[in-house]
């Protein structure tokens, strides 16, 4: 029986190696990560709808999801883990770094955030934390061109990178007024709000999968997050080590 196992062990190791590769390529958890999505069309109402699960965020970990023009402006949310706090802190971004607003702390793994920016009346509405609503008057709204999704650790330590998964992430431009959406700020299904737009809304959809079916125009699908740089080499190195040991063991046995 031992000889039979030794005879087929190489085949089994190859199968295990292939399985590990498949599993690694199916990983949907973002770690150190950055992705950009272009907003090519314009309208009078920008929106950002975020629903993510945070698996882990160590001290000095950062997760940022925001709309961005050319320059230093940003409109969205940043999650930061302060080492002096047990929970992570949420910050609203509405322009330059001087226009960041503290939204509170949370230890909930699920984070939902929704932002509307009406260009015509220079107003922003933020929905977060089970339908807490804040309104802000903006002095300046640039032309927003991209959606940014990023996570990292300020210290640069790979072991402390945040890990999260995107349940739903949509951003784009609508042709409607923010005043027409007051009754729908907290509605769970963002598509109800999208249907309030006159004409066809321009939507960006970022997900964890490589395919996305949508009836909206100019839909961009997010890429599958890449593995941490050490994972795949480690798998390959361990597998090669096993194969080399088996090779010499078989060679010794035959001699």
Check residue 221 and report its DSSP letter: B
Which tokens go with 181?
A: 């959406």
SS3 assignment, position 254: helix
Which bin fits 210, alpha (ψ -120 to 50), beta or left (φ > 0)? alpha
Which tokens go with 242?
A: 């096993």
d(CA 178, CA 45): 7
Domain chopping of the chain, boundaries: 2-24+232-254, 29-226
d(CA 143, CA 43): 10
User: Over its length of 255 residues, how does the chain's per-residue pLDDT go in tens digits?
Assistant: 445 445 555 555 544 444 443 334 333 445 567 888 888 777 899 999 999 999 889 899 999 999 999 888 999 999 999 999 999 999 999 998 889 999 999 999 999 999 999 999 999 999 998 899 999 999 999 999 999 998 888 887 766 788 888 898 988 888 889 998 988 899 888 888 888 776 556 566 665 532 222 333 233 333 333 334 444 455 555 555 555 556 555 555 555
d(CA 194, CA 12): 51
Sheet containing 202-205: order of strands: 132-137, 123-128, 110-118, 45-56, 163-174, 202-205
Identify the pLDDT of residue 26.
Answer: 36
Q: What is the pTM of this model?
A: 0.69
Check residue 29 and report its DSSP letter: -
Identify the pLDDT of residue 27.
Answer: 37
Identify the pLDDT of residue 12.
Answer: 52
Q: What is the DSSP string of 35-79?
A: EEEE--S--SEEEEEEEEEEEE--TTEEEEEEEE-SSS-EEEEEE
State the fold for domain 29-226.
Answer: Jelly Rolls (2.60.120)
């Amino acid at each position: 029986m031992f000889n039979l196992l030794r005879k087929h062990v190489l085949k089994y190791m190859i199968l295990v190696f292939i399985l590990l590769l498949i599993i690694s390529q199916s990983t949907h958890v973002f770690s150190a990560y950055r992705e950009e999505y272009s907003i090519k069309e314009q309208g009078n109402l920008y929106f950002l709808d975020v629903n993510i699960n945070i698996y882990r965020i160590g001290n000095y970990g950062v997760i940022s999801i925001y709309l961005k023009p050319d320059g230093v402006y940003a409109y969205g949310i940043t999650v930061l883990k302060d080492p002096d706090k047990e929970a992570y802190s949420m910050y609203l971004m509405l322009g330059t770094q001087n226009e960041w607003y503290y939204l509170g702390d949370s230890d909930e793994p699920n984070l939902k955030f929704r932002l509307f920016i009406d260009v015509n009346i220079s107003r922003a509405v933020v929905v977060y934390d089970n339908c807490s609503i804040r309104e802000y008057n903006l002095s300046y709204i640039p032309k927003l061109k991209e959606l940014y999704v990023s996570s990292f650790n300020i210290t640069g330590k790979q072991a402390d990178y945040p890990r999260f998964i995107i349940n739903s992430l949509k951003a784009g431009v609508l042709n409607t007024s923010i005043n027409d959406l007051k009754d729908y700020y907290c509605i769970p299904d963002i598509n109800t709000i999208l249907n309030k737009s006159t004409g066809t809304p321009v939507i960006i959809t970022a997900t964890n999968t490589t395919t996305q079916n949508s009836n909206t125009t100019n839909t961009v699908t997010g890429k599958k997050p890449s593995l941490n740089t050490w994972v795949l080499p480690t798998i390959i190195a361990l597998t090669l080590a096993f194969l080399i040991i088996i090779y010499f063991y078989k060679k010794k046995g035959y001699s």
